């Protein structure tokens, strides 16, 4: 598996439990982004203001809130993939040349 194919793996990027790709529980988004609950709320607010995602209530548990990418959000994410993957590949290649990071880079790139 290439580094690029792993680079976007998160609980929010693939369909699961009857959800569509791009739908994510706010708590999962917080964990995936390593953000606090309040920081996640601020991030979701900003993305929602830019009309890149919307909030939807969980049908199974009315306390749960999911975020869902809008068509504009999906388009922007698609545009970001090549840049993200290129930078990730470059960074890992550079790390492989640093003795302290060589083993880590090898593990990540498999």
pLDDT digits (tens, 9 = 90+) for 4-42: 444 444 445 444 444 455 678 888 888 888 999 899 999
39 and 56 belong to one structural domain: yes
DSSP letter (8 states) at residue 20? P
Task: List the end-to-end C-alpha distance of the chain, in Å, as a whole number.
Answer: 8
16 and 62 belong to one structural domain: yes
Asked whether the predicted pLDDT for residue 85 surpasses 80, the reply is yes
51 and 76 belong to one structural domain: no
Note whether 36 and 30 are within 8 A (CB). Answer: yes
Q: What is the pLDDT of residue 99?
A: 96
pTM over 0.75: no
Range of the domain at 20: 11-69
CATH number reported for the structural domain that contains residue 23 in this entry: 1.10.10.10
85 and 101 belong to one structural domain: yes
pLDDT digits (tens, 9 = 90+) for 50-76: 999 999 887 777 778 888 999 999 999
CA distance 56 to 64: 9
């Amino acid at each position: 598996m290439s580094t690029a194919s792993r680079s976007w793996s998160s609980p929010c990027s693939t369909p699961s439990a009857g959800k569509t790709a791009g739908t994510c529980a706010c708590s999962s988004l917080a964990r995936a982004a390593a953000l606090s609950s309040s920081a996640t709320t601020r991030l979701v607010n900003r993305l929602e203001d830019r009309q890149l995602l919307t909030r939807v209530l969980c049908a199974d548990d009315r306390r749960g809130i999911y975020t869902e990418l809008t068509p504009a959000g999906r388009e922007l994410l698609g545009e970001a993939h090549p840049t993200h993957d290129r930078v990730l590949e470059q960074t890992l290649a550079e790390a492989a040349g640093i003795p302290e990071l060589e083993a880590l880079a090898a593990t990540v790139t498999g």
